[in-house]
Amino acid sequence: MEASTTFKQDLLLREYGRNVQDLVNYISQVDDRAERTRLSQLLINLMAKLNPQLRDTQDYQQKLWNHLYVMSGSTLDVDAPYPLNAMEYLNDKPQRMPYALVTPRFKHYGTNVELLIQKAVELEDEKERENAIISLGKLMKTLYRSYNKDSVTDELILDDIRTISKGKLNMDLKYIESNNLFESNGKPQQQEQNQRNQPQNRDNNRNRKNNTKSSSNSRNK
């Protein structure tokens, strides 16, 4: 069943208001076709300003003319730059949304990561495949940390890459760990270890200085 013209008008009046509807009614009653066309073009310019978000859609000018045609009760007779229609699509049933039928094996990575791994498997160049593994490792490590606040090792990430790719993607674990390739910040692992040890080293140096001062005072006595 097709929606009534009144329903279509009420739906569009929410966007343009009663004043625009009154202008449409006035233009429809103008006898001269050229004058109706001129006034309609002026009204289209006004409607574009009242409904600016429509400019982001494709063929927004044609949609504005269709809106004008609908508000006239599908009776507006002008020299429009586009074929006018009553926007029957308002009566169409909504299209069904496609739902994913396959659940990813690792939910914290998602289906897109699995698709990226499959694309990496198809790479023939060894260097490109290695770069793909490094990029995947960085992404998967970030996703894992956002899903689970516990620490994650490069070995775990590499094992997941092997599992998802069915053993077709692999790299040397020691090479990954020594160069910290799966970390987005790019800091070498040894550098991070040194930074973590710095507070402890400062404390040890401070204790040595205190012990040295104590020993010196004891000898002076």
Read off the DSSP letter of residue 109: T
Q: What is the pLDDT of residue 120?
A: 94
- String of b and e for 89-121 (b: at least 16 CB within 10 Å)? eeeeeeeeeeeeeeeeebeebeeebbebbeebe
Cα 121 → chain centroid = 25
| Number of Cβ within a 10 Å radius of residue 85 | 13
Domain boundaries, the chain: 5-91, 111-187
Q: What is the pLDDT of residue 1?
A: 37
Q: Could you tell me the sign of the dihedral formed by the alpha carbons of 70, 76, 82, 85, in that order?
A: positive
Q: What is the pLDDT of residue 202?
A: 56
**What is the pTM (predicted TM-score) of this model?**
0.43
3-state SS assignment for residue 155: helix
Q: Report the C-alpha gap between 133 and 170 in whole angstroms.
A: 8
Read off the DSSP letter of residue 88: G
pLDDT 10s digit of each residue in the chain, 221 long?
344 445 455 545 567 788 888 898 899 999 999 999 999 999 999 988 888 887 887 788 888 888 888 888 888 889 989 888 776 545 555 667 777 667 778 888 888 999 999 999 999 999 999 999 999 999 999 999 888 777 889 999 999 999 999 999 999 999 999 999 999 874 444 444 454 455 555 555 565 555 555 554 555 54
8 A C-beta contact, residue 50 and residue 16:
yes
Task: Please report, for residues 6, 113, 152, 160, the alpha-carbon distance to residue 147 in angstroms, rounded to integers and kept in the order given.
Answer: 51, 14, 11, 15
Q: At residue 186, what is the residue type?
A: G
Task: Give the pair of three-digit tokens for residue 23.
Answer: 């202008």
Task: Give the pair of three-digit tokens for residue 67.
Answer: 């809106």
Q: What is the pLDDT of residue 130?
A: 94
8 A C-beta contact, residue 74 and residue 2:
no
Residue tagged 């009614």 (tokens): 25
8 A C-beta contact, residue 130 and residue 120:
no
Task: Give the pair of three-digit tokens for residue 19.
Answer: 């004043």
Closest CA to 89 of 115, 63, 109: 63
The torsion defined by the Cα of 27, 33, 34 and 35, in degrees rounded to 10, comes to -30
